[in-house]
Amino acid sequence: MSGVALSALLGSGLAVAAAAPAGAAPHPTAPHPANTWTVNEPGRSTLSAELDLDSAGELRLAVDRGSAPVLLPGRLGIRTARHDLTKGLRLVKRHDRTVHESYRMTTGKQLRRSATMREATFTFRGADGARLGVVVRVSDDGVAYRYLLNDRGPVTVESEASTFEVPTDAKAWLQPYVTSYETERTETTAGAANEARPGTCTGDTCSFGYPTLFEVGGTYVLLTEADVDGRYSGSHLDHVAGGSAYSVALADGAPVTSDGPLATPWRTAIVGSLDTLVGSTLVDDLAPPSKVRDTSWIRPGVDDWSWLSDGSSPGDYGRQRDFVDYAAEHGLQYTLVDAGWQASWVPELVRYARAKGVDVILWFDWNDLKTQQQRDAWLPKVKAWGVAGVKVDYMYSDSQSTFQWYDAILRDTARLKLMIDFHGATIPRGLQRTWPQVMSVEAVRGEENGQHSTRDIFLAFTRNIVGSMDYTPTWFSRPGRQDSLGHELALPVVFESGWTSLGDNPEGFAAHPVAERFLEQLPTTWDETRLVSGGPGAQPAGDRQAVIARRSGHRWFVGGILAGTSDTMKAPLGFLGKGRWLVETIGDSDGRLRRTVRTVTAADTLAVPTAAEGGFVTLACPATRGRTDCEEPVVTAPAASLTLDPAAVTAGPGQKAGIGATFTLPEGAALHRVRMTVDRDRLPAGWSVTGRDVRAGTLPAGRALDGNWTVTVGKDQPGGEIDVPVVVTYADPAGGKVPPIHVEKVVKLSIPLHGTVYASDQPFLTETNGYGPVERDMSNGEAGGQDGQPLTVGGTVYAKGLGMNAPSQVGIDLQGRCTRFEAHVGVDDETNGNGSVTFTVLGDDGRRLATTGVLRGGDSAVDLTVDVTGVHTLGLVVGDGGDNKNYDHADWGLARLTCAD
């Protein structure tokens, strides 16, 4: 919707896209004298859409392929708070043009895109004089339509009459609608879809989620929507038992309100053979162009992800280093650190990873990034840590407000040059074209939800067609695994995802070195995608298969998966092109993986014996003299060394500290374009650095690069500890358009505590909290970070302090320089009189310095004043008052320390 400018619906009628795409050729025509109008696919008439206006002024749209009907005439129309534009319509004007879209993606099944669509805009007048625009587009892979409303000021859409009519005997592959899109798909018929009584039914009506697949007389139709943003909501399809109609229903049955003029999302049908569907880019073709001009920082790739195989490991710094080491050794671009990470060690992990040529992706609960305040607190912080991107989880909504949140976080991450993966999310609707930093989207019942080989087949022909799919594949060591090793290995080829998060651990991968070699070669972006064989329906032998080929440069990667008994899977190799090709195939053999190599031509057919619930992968490259495999070398970052002198230093406000650094490469090939510097941008305001950057065009092994700088602490700098980063960058030995290797260490610069110091401004040595994180200068709020309210106890508001939830504790380093701690403590008023807590102040070795009795919600704050002379580690502890932790939102209002000057 964004980027579409609508002209006034006055006098001359309605126009779309004031700025037509390059290649658009307008062809205005007078209204057709009949009440039926046809829009044909450009250049030929294979696909056509027929718009019909009946005697009651009701609109219907049908789709034909060739001479055969695919979608029967289905209702069109829309109801707003002001107008009923579903009946009593009459045509005012028709305007035709050809739209050509040519663009490049950063992710997806095909990086370079080109699409030509025939577009007709029909302007209708309603019974009350209001005008409705209906835009119909037809391409070689489908049909789409949208509504245009020219109301000025707010436009409230109450519902759509939009309906897809499918013959009741058409085969159907349907997913009961839930906002996570994590239910299982079922094979049925269009009319019998409700008989299984999925959990999203009310009376005779059941709801189904996009994308929804039907087979009508040998033609496949995949229904979905495109171009949804915060001006609208997502939708799904409602179906009445036994009927042919699948009606568009807005999220939660709620109206949407936007500033007019308004263009609604595209109601979209991808139409054709299964090969057409698998290769279709229609959803992206209908989306607005990229809002990100410079995409050079966006880097798809493979990551190893510890949560699936080792659920507690994201909270273990040492274990995360194991995953970093594995990624570095095998040429993976990323490590994904999921729920459980600690801010105390993530910066060090990022530094460790980047020195090895591995970037870190960091998981977030969306409750920690829900508000602008939360995003402004977290996203610049993790960017400064060196995190490459974020994985955000648990949105679980198609509401308009949630799409407005998507708009906001996409603007924020684009500005900060952070890539993003949406987990626990809605389906992609062209999002990756408009916001190319989106690497993947979950909206799938993936590997973490158990194995189901039939599900895997269905997904290849439904969900993964419309955009990158964060399935998190390949878990060889899964306890009780039901599918074969070959099936697991094939999944990251069959399923496209800009970030592919592999689900096993280093030990699980190491048990299968043949698979490791293949995964080292795996791209996550593709120049071309082809369906080789298979389909969602059961084959004559009773099984289901999908074999998909994807090209990256001069190499083809083929993945085949089987749902059913053992079989010989066949893959015609016509997609290879001319000449002789070297083909490496890895498949199942007596419970292990076996690799074979042969030379073929495009006239050959690959036949791979496959285990039950099995699969295989193939890597093909042009056969040249002396070549025995298709592998490209895995280039890893060398073990360079950066040392700092001193590693820690103390300086007060306005004082200077000297920093020295030495960078060496003990052995190996020389490094190029080397630069060593202090990262001034990450120092607090008011600080300064003198000393030049140190550079070397070439740095051979054994030669040292030395640098010296003087850092001056800002005159207004409060006490505490600041990391001063020294950074060395050099050209990645792998070459190409990859970012430089980043080696970083920090000097711990301590500023002595002095004067009045607020606890909320100090780093925590330790932190535990009974519900969500400890909040600084706000109440505990909910489970997310930065989601509290002003600290308020007994009606008194405190601008500074800590918000906690029992049982909780923080530790603060006082450096032995403070003499007094004071705070106004009590239960925050946000509990509405509920909750009971105790407050305790601890000194070194857990020595109790002060404690309160039980304080209850609604009580006035209690003043705490504690002598902390000589204390190095201060502990602030909240207990639950002897009952449970419910409502135990404890405030340390104006918690402050008096320290030496």
pLDDT of residue 643: 98
Q: Is the dihedral of CA 9, 12, 17, 19 positive or negative?
A: negative
% of the chain residues with pLDDT over 90:
92
Write out pLDDT tens, residues 17-68.
333 344 444 444 444 446 999 999 998 769 999 999 999 999 999 999 998 9
pLDDT of residue 360: 98
Angle between helices 485-494 and 453-460 (to 10 degrees): 20
Mean pLDDT of 853-868: 97
Question: Could you tell me if 223 and 212 are in contact, meaning their C-beta atoms sit under 8 angstroms apart?
Answer: yes
How many C-beta neighbours within 10 Å does residue 762 have?
22
Q: Give whole-number Cα distances, 567 to 9, 545, 557, 615, 826, in Å.
A: 61, 10, 21, 10, 69
Please give the domain boundaries of the chain with CATH numbers for all domains.
Answer: 25-285 (2.70.98.10), 301-622 (3.20.20.70), 641-751 (2.60.40.10), 755-899 (2.60.120.1060)
Q: Per DSSP, what are the bridge partners of residue 250?
A: 235
Angstrom distance (rounded) from CA 265 to CA 4: 11
Task: List CB contacts of 203: < 8 A, sequence separation 6 or more.
Answer: none
Write out pLDDT tens, residues 769-797.
999 899 999 999 988 888 899 999 999 99
Write out pLDDT tens, residues 326-384.
999 999 999 999 999 999 899 999 999 999 999 999 999 999 999 999 999 999 999 99
pLDDT of residue 783: 85
Write out pLDDT tens, residues 721-732.
999 999 999 999
pLDDT of residue 540: 76
pLDDT of residue 200: 86
Question: Could you tell me if 536 and 173 are in contact, meaning their C-beta atoms sit under 8 angstroms apart?
Answer: yes
Banded model confidence at residue 604, pLDDT cuts 50, 70, 90: very high
Catalytic residues: 393, 448
E strands present in 487-646: 499-502, 528-535, 544-552, 555-563, 567-572, 581-589, 592-600, 605-610, 615-622, 641-645
Phi/psi for 857 (5° steps) reads -55, 135
pLDDT of residue 67: 86
Give the H or E element holding residue 380.
helix 372-385
Instruction: Kindly tell me if the per-residue pLDDT of 155 is higher than 70.
Output: yes
Question: Could you tell me if 376 and 410 are in contact, meaning their C-beta atoms sit under 8 angstroms apart?
Answer: no
Task: List CB contacts of 627: < 8 A, sequence separation 6 or more.
Answer: 582, 621
Pick the closest to residue 76 from 62, 66, 96 (CA basis).
62
Residue, of 14 and 79, whose pLDDT is higher: 79
pLDDT of residue 197: 79
Task: List CB contacts of 654: < 8 A, sequence separation 6 or more.
Answer: 712, 713, 714, 715
pLDDT of residue 23: 43
Render 707-734 in DSSP notation, one character per residue: EEEEEE--TTPPSEEEEEEEEEEE--TT
Render 818-845 in DSSP notation, one character per residue: EEEEEEEEEE-GGGTT--EEEEEEE-GG
Q: How many CA atoms lie within 13 A of 224 on its CB side?
A: 30
Distance between terminal CA atoms of the chain? 59
Q: What tokens were used for 544?
A: 């289901």
pLDDT of residue 44: 72
Q: What tokens were used for 767?
A: 């932190």
pLDDT of residue 539: 79
How many C-beta neighbours within 10 Å does residue 26 have?
11
Banded model confidence at residue 451, pLDDT cuts 50, 70, 90: confident
Question: Could you tell me if 702 and 664 are in contact, meaning their C-beta atoms sit under 8 angstroms apart?
Answer: yes
Write out pLDDT tens, residues 575-600.
999 999 999 999 999 999 999 999 99
Q: Per DSSP, what are the bridge partners of residue 256?
A: 157
Render 612-675 in DSSP notation, one character per residue: TT-EEEEEEEE--TT----PPP-------EEEEESSEEE--TT-EEEEEEEEE--SSSPEEEEE
% of the chain residues with pLDDT over 70:
96
Angstrom distance (rounded) from CA 489 to CA 482: 14
Task: List CB contacts of 673: < 8 A, sequence separation 6 or more.
Answer: 697, 729, 730, 731, 740
Q: Give whole-number Cα distances, 672 to 662, 675, 696, 698, 699, in Å.
A: 17, 9, 7, 5, 6
Phi/psi for 458 (5° steps) reads -55, -40
Residue with tokens 């990100």: 292
Rg of the chain's alpha carbons, rounded to an integer?
31
Angstrom distance (rounded) from CA 213 to CA 211: 7
Angstrom distance (rounded) from CA 9 to CA 134: 12
Angstrom distance (rounded) from CA 834 to CA 831: 5
Banded model confidence at residue 10, pLDDT cuts 50, 70, 90: very low
What DSSP character marks residue 105?
Answer: -
Pick the closest to residue 78 from 270, 235, 287, 244 (CA basis).
235
pLDDT of residue 281: 98
Q: What tokens were used for 31?
A: 């209204």
Instruction: Kindly tell me if the per-residue pLDDT of 210 is higher than 60.
Output: yes
Write out pLDDT tens, residues 523-580.
999 999 999 999 999 877 778 999 999 999 999 999 999 999 999 999 999 999 999 9
Write out pLDDT tens, residues 757-775.
999 999 999 999 999 899 9
Angstrom distance (rounded) from CA 134 to CA 59: 10
Residue with tokens 């592919």: 500
Mean pLDDT of 109-123: 98
Write out pLDDT tens, residues 234-250.
999 999 999 999 999 99
Question: Could you tell me if 65 and 89 are in contact, meaning their C-beta atoms sit under 8 angstroms apart?
Answer: no
Angstrom distance (rounded) from CA 209 to CA 626: 52
Render 322-353 in DSSP notation, one character per residue: HHHHHHHHTT-SEEEE-TT--TTTHHHHHHHH
Banded model confidence at residue 899, pLDDT cuts 50, 70, 90: very high
Instruction: Kindly tell me if the per-residue pLDDT of 14 is higher than 60.
Output: no
Pick the closest to residue 445 from 435, 456, 436, 431 (CA basis).
456
pLDDT of residue 34: 60
- Name the burial class of residue 715, with classes exposed (0-12), middle (13-18) and buried (19+) by CB atoms within 10 angstroms of its CB: exposed
Asked if omega into 807 is within 30° of 0 (cis), the reply is yes
